[in-house]
Chain A
Amino acid sequence: MTLWIQQTNPLLFSRTNHPPMSESMIKKREALAPANDFTPEDLHMLDLDWDQWKDPTHMLRQDEVLEMSNLLDALSLAVKKGILVLSPTFGHEVELLKRIDWLSSDTEPIDHTGAPAFADESLLKNAWLHGQKITLTEMLIMRYDPARIHWLLFRVYLDKDKIVCYEPLSQHGETIDIEEVVVIAQFFKPRRGGIKPDFDNLDYGYEVKLLDVQTDGASCGFWMVTIAFLIICEVPIRNSCINLLKLIGVENIKEHWKCLLTSWRVEEKGLGRDPVNNFLRYWDGQFNHNSSIARRPRWIPRYNPQAFLQAMAQPVRDPDDPANQATNMRTDQQIQMAIGKLGVEFDRLEAEKGSLVFGSETLEPDHLRRFLKGLANDEVINMFVAVLRHSLEATVGQEHLHFASAFRVPRPSRKFALMTTFFYPKLRELFTAQNPSSGSEQKAAVLEERLLRWFKKTNFEVHKSFLLPVNEPPSDKNNAGHWLLVEIDFPAKAIYIYDSLPPSFKPDDRFQGYGVVIGLIFVATQVISTASSGLLSPAGPDWNFSSIPVPRQNNAVDCGFFTIMFMLHLVYWGELNPPECCPPILSFSANSMHKTRIILATRLIDWLGEYWAEMAELSPKPAVSSSPTEPMEQSVPRPIHQEDDTYVSEPIPEKDQKSITTESYMELEPPLVPPSVRTGYSPVPSSVDGEDEELAYNSALEPLDEIMLKKEAPEVQASELWSSSLSSLPPSFQTPPPPP
């Protein structure tokens, strides 16, 4: 991966007749060149997959645009142009703006309770602060048009009430909804009065500039951010500029964006001058600022491998309660200390092959590291489901035992039932089975019956609201999915969605882009209703759906931890970040999420330690389960016929296949055992240890598989789903691997 652009486009340089780079510039570029050692993962931008950018059909995703708009807004602040850059999707923000009273433009709006209407560090708060620092003249709004699956850049001239849309294709959409753009533009208009305008009767000029630079079906996003970059850098968007863009081509533009983003994350203060100038040289532009030109906000971490490794290697110096330490964690150094301490703890757990265990949930040491960096997986989320369930069950006198006790949080007041992350994929299975074209009644009935058993311990007299952490699966294997939280409130007949990165949606979409989720949640209400024997009624047309405005993530990795915080806050207080009861350590926002991750991990490890210690006092039980070492009895040599842990895969109903069932296998009646089973089994010495047993198992598998597949054949015809699943069996399923 080359990050720094080579002068490989002869067309370009013959055309602009650009002077060769000065020696000092080349030196400087080389000094910055280590950037090509960085992968997006190193830069904490896991989903900015630069390998995917090589694919000409790759379209910029929402989270990628978010990262780029962070950069562009910082650049705009640096050059003091009075341009506000707004990242994509505004459904929630616009709803909020329509709901609250507007005070004059220099007064921060408040909600009906008198509290500030914008959460700290939220999109609107940051934008509002930006507008207070400098008089806004223009806004650059990145909008996704779901109707055309297309990115568009809207440039709003605030003083003229005029919107210009930069359309990278040669033709524009027929129905472009600009209402959201207008609402936001009106709100950020400098020196506006405190009266909310009548949005239906606003006279806004709308102009489309057809750029005709995009020649493929996917590069719209790259053109959008590049045009925004040029506007901020004062390059006039004229024909000559556009022609130059065409000559540069989208491939080169992608390379420049890699440089910009790398510099943004790697350099000490933020985006450096060189990558900007490198890009601008095409237009003879130049930035003369000395140091970094786009200051990276504190909440966007700098990638610094040495500091990180040092912190991880630091011994635990301070024996104080880490929870207290985390509470006081304010400076970067303290954060690094906490990270270092966690790292040591992870190493210890890994060395002991120990997992964190609570209830039926397990958190492998490997996945614990996800707290420090990267994406949350089901283990991380479900562990918090388990500890929060436990908190909800805490009885009087045992409050000190629940997870949030160290935060001095009162006992949870709301009785939520929490589902694990696997409920949602099960709903999808059930939904597919219920669909006449893809499933069958019989299969749906079996699935539903089994799903009902998940609720055998739920007391529906008490639990009438359900929280479901939802993993929206990725569009393809190379991507991660997205975490969000759904609340089903049966008494209120309402479904609420808490999503740190909401989707774009068409104006007439009453489910705001959550159609699939809502569909499956309706199935969930049916299952829960049945499980409650009708005590709770399934969702119907009279139910309400709303997407709750929540703190939003500003990177591509945090949604799982937002989902955990949504759960935690709802369980403890029934709302998010309530100022009167939420301790500061537990309040969360995009900008503090890197701290929240550490706090969650530290507190979880400590609390589990305390919990198991307390449990050990009550009854001697293992606190942390070690990874399965071989059970004692297996290391003891003994005759084969006493082997009791052998198991063989076998089709259950085929009682006439008894000749190769485990009974006969274990009883070792040679005439009944097929030859391959015997050959596989014969080398097993009289002292059976785990490995040999596995070997015997594998070789014994072969003939059984054939029987099993034959047996499944009739069912395959019964439903399409089965046939498709059978053909997708991994090869190893059909032909078991030979014994080692």
Chain B
Amino acid sequence: MSEEDHQENPQGEVKSEDAQSTINIKVVSSQGEEVFFKIKRSTKLSKLQGAYASKVGKDVSSIRFLYDGARINDDDTPASLDMEDNDTIDVMVEQVGGASSHRP
């Protein structure tokens, strides 16, 4: 999911042409809660992340946003990730582990 991957993808260039157009994005938590966003292709997804976090009342550092399994970075935009209309972003909670706390 590094930058070069996007460059390799010929579709990315086509999509970035209409960077000013908006697309709908669905953010889904693991409990199935859905929040919909309408966002410009050129808008940084970090904005969406912040908005989502404040909406669900969580600290943005305690949740992770994934697109097709890869974490969304602050600089990513729908255009850079090649997102399509009605695409879905997964929200995952932070995972911490040290010992088998549920195991006796």
- Give the B-binding residues of A (Cβ under 8 A): 46-47, 59-63, 144, 146, 149, 151, 221, 357, 359-362, 364, 366, 374-379, 381-382, 419-423, 425-426, 429, 443, 450-451, 453-454, 456-457, 471-475, 479-483, 501, 503-504, 513, 553, 555-560, 621, 625, 627-628, 631, 644-645, 647-652, 661-663, 694, 697-698, 701, 708, 712, 721-722, 724-726, 728-733, 736-737
Among B1-45, those with CB < 8 Å from A are 1-3, 5, 20, 22, 24, 26, 29-40, 42-44
Say yes or no: A361 contacts B71, CB within 8 Å: yes
A662 vs B73: C-alpha distance when bound (angstroms): 24
A426-B90, A649-B55, A737-B54 in contact; A482/B102 too (CB < 8 A)? Answer: yes
Say yes or no: A425 contacts B92, CB within 8 Å: yes
Chain B residue, CB-CB nearest to A693: B47
Q: What are 13 of the A-B contact pairs (CB < 8 Å)?
A: A359-B70, A375-B98, A377-B97, A378-B92, A378-B94, A420-B71, A472-B102, A501-B103, A559-B99, A645-B40, A721-B31, A728-B31, A733-B33
| A181 shortest CB reach to chain B, Å | 17
A647-B43, A697-B51, A732-B55 in contact; A482/B90 too (CB < 8 A)? Answer: no
Say yes or no: B101 contacts A480, CB within 8 Å: yes
Cross-chain pair count, CB within 8 angstroms: 226
Say yes or no: A149 contacts B104, CB within 8 Å: yes
A474-B101, A697-B51 in contact; A708/B24 too (CB < 8 A)? Answer: no
Say yes or no: B96 contacts A61, CB within 8 Å: no
Instruction: List A contacts of B64 (CB < 8 A).
Output: 378, 422
Chain A residue, CB-CB nearest to B49: A628
A-B contacts besides A362-B71, A559-B99, 12 pairs, CB < 8 Å? A151-B104, A361-B71, A362-B74, A379-B94, A422-B92, A429-B30, A482-B99, A503-B103, A558-B98, A559-B98, A644-B20, A662-B22
Say yes or no: B43 contacts A644, CB within 8 Å: yes
| B102 shortest CB reach to chain A, Å | 4
Instruction: List B contacts of A454 (CB < 8 A).
Output: 68-69
Say yes or no: A726 contacts B104, CB within 8 Å: no
Say yes or no: B95 contacts A378, CB within 8 Å: yes
| A620 shortest CB reach to chain B, Å | 12
A239 vs B31: C-alpha distance when bound (angstroms): 54
Which residue among B46, B70, B100, B103 has the maximum number of chain A CB atoms within 10 Å of its CB?
B100
Say yes or no: A732 contacts B104, CB within 8 Å: no
Say yes or no: B69 contacts A482, CB within 8 Å: no
Within the complex, which residue of B40, B71, B73 is in contact with A647, where a contact is CB–CB below 8 Å? B40
Say yes or no: B75 contacts A625, CB within 8 Å: yes
A694 vs B48: C-alpha distance when bound (angstroms): 11
A474-B101, A559-B99 in contact; A662/B2 too (CB < 8 A)? Answer: no
Say yes or no: B30 contacts A557, CB within 8 Å: no
A450 vs B88: C-alpha distance when bound (angstroms): 8
| A562 shortest CB reach to chain B, Å | 10
Instruction: List A contacts of B29 (CB < 8 A).
Output: 725
Say yes or no: A652 contacts B99, CB within 8 Å: no
| A538 shortest CB reach to chain B, Å | 19
Say yes or no: B56 contacts A732, CB within 8 Å: yes
Say yes or no: B95 contacts A377, CB within 8 Å: yes
Chain A residue, CB-CB nearest to B50: A694
**Does any Cβ of A come within 8 Å of B79's Cβ?**
no
| A171 shortest CB reach to chain B, Å | 20
Which residue among B30, B68, B98 has the maximum number of chain A CB atoms within 10 Å of its CB?
B98
Instruction: List A contacts of B92 (CB < 8 A).
Output: 378, 422, 425
A60 vs B97: C-alpha distance when bound (angstroms): 18
A182 vs B56: C-alpha distance when bound (angstroms): 55
Say yes or no: A62 contacts B104, CB within 8 Å: yes
Say yes or no: A708 contacts B36, CB within 8 Å: yes
Within the complex, which residue of B38, B48, B56, B73 is in contact with A730, where a contact is CB–CB below 8 Å? B56
A359-B1, A647-B47 in contact; A422/B66 too (CB < 8 A)? Answer: yes
| A205 shortest CB reach to chain B, Å | 27
Say yes or no: B37 contacts A61, CB within 8 Å: no
A356 vs B55: C-alpha distance when bound (angstroms): 27
Instruction: List B contacts of A501 (CB < 8 A).
Output: 99-100, 103
| A579 shortest CB reach to chain B, Å | 28
Say yes or no: A472 contacts B100, CB within 8 Å: yes
Say yes or no: A144 contacts B104, CB within 8 Å: yes
